[in-house]
Amino acid sequence: MRVEVYVEGVVQGVGFRYFTQRIAKEIGIKGFVKNLADGRVYIVADGDEEQLDKFLSYIKKGSRSSIVRRVEVREIEESEKFENFNIRF
């Protein structure tokens, strides 16, 4: 299962992408995270339903230094194969 996630709030410049990568690797999620020009963070995550539920619960809470105000999640079609979870710049 693959989802795309848009995260709004204080999520840039506070280590949120590194937090996301660490959690993804712990849970076994594959995909990527990147900052968007509008201040949001964009995530593409692959995993089974249980893994994604756990991952998204962490994302909704955020890291200690972030403030997550809104999380939008959509299931999407697979377009590329991911071997791991990376930060994209």
Mean per-residue pLDDT over the chain, rounded: 97
| Single pTM value for the model | 0.97
Active site residues: 17, 35
CATH 3.30.70.100: does it fit domain 2-78?
A: yes
Residue 26 has a pLDDT of: 98
Question: Residue 40 has which token pair?
Answer: 């949001």
In sequence order, which residues have a C-beta less than 8 Å from that of residue 4 and are 6 or more positions away? 42, 43, 44, 45, 73, 74, 76
Contact 23, 39 (CB under 8 A): no
- All residue ranges of the chain with pLDDT < 70 are none
pLDDT tens digits along 33-58: 999 999 999 999 999 999 999 999 99
